[in-house]
Amino acid sequence: MSKEELIKGLNEDLAAEWGTVIRYTYQAGHSFGVMGIELREMFAEETEDELGHATFLTDYIIDLGGEPTTIPKSFDKPDSLKEMLNLDIKMEEDDVASYMKHAELAEELGFVELKFKLEEMAADEAGHARGLRRIVKGL
């Protein structure tokens, strides 16, 4: 596994983070009623986490000598609230898997800070997925 492959993987993660920032902003705009008030708060909190992740990845890719992407990963736009939140759960879970995979690569290459930070970010995404599952359960 080379540094170039790691940079490529981190750029996929970065594209996912930009996509999530846009997705949550878009979904917050489509959240109405009393439930919408709570959803908007949750999306705002999570967007802050995702922006922190995107900032870390941007800095780290540059420090590795790469070019960080500014192109977001695209996402579906389901009509129903439940489908929308289920999509979010799936995408958060995908992010967990990707961060764990790249944490292993980082460890192989000896990037200790990156390994632990990616694991921490995986834990953040797992927490987001868990919070979303609790909301869906109550629908």
Q: Measure the CA–CA gap between 1 and 111, rounded to whole angstroms.
A: 13
53 binds Fe ion (CB under 5 A): yes
User: Shortest Cβ distance from residue 102 to Fe ion (Å)?
Assistant: 13
User: Shortest Cβ distance from residue 112 to Fe ion (Å)?
Assistant: 21
Q: Select the span of 5-13, 45-53, 76-84, 101-109 touching Fe ion (CB under 5 A).
A: 45-53
102 binds Fe ion (CB under 5 A): no
Q: Which is nearer to Fe ion, 117 or 128 (CB)?
A: 128
How many chain residues bind Fe ion (CB under 5 A)?
6
- Tokens describing residue 109: 């290459």
Q: Select the span of 34-42, 50-58, 59-67, 96-104 touching Fe ion (CB under 5 A).
A: 50-58
Q: Measure the CA–CA gap between 128 and 115, rounded to whole angstroms.
A: 20
Q: Select the span of 17-25, 26-34, 71-79, 109-117 touching Fe ion (CB under 5 A).
A: 17-25
- Return the C-alpha torsion angle 66, 71, 42, 76, nearest 10: -140
User: Shortest Cβ distance from residue 96 to Fe ion (Å)?
Assistant: 9
13 binds Fe ion (CB under 5 A): no
73 binds Fe ion (CB under 5 A): no
Binding site for Fe ion (CB under 5 A): 17, 50, 53, 92, 125, 128
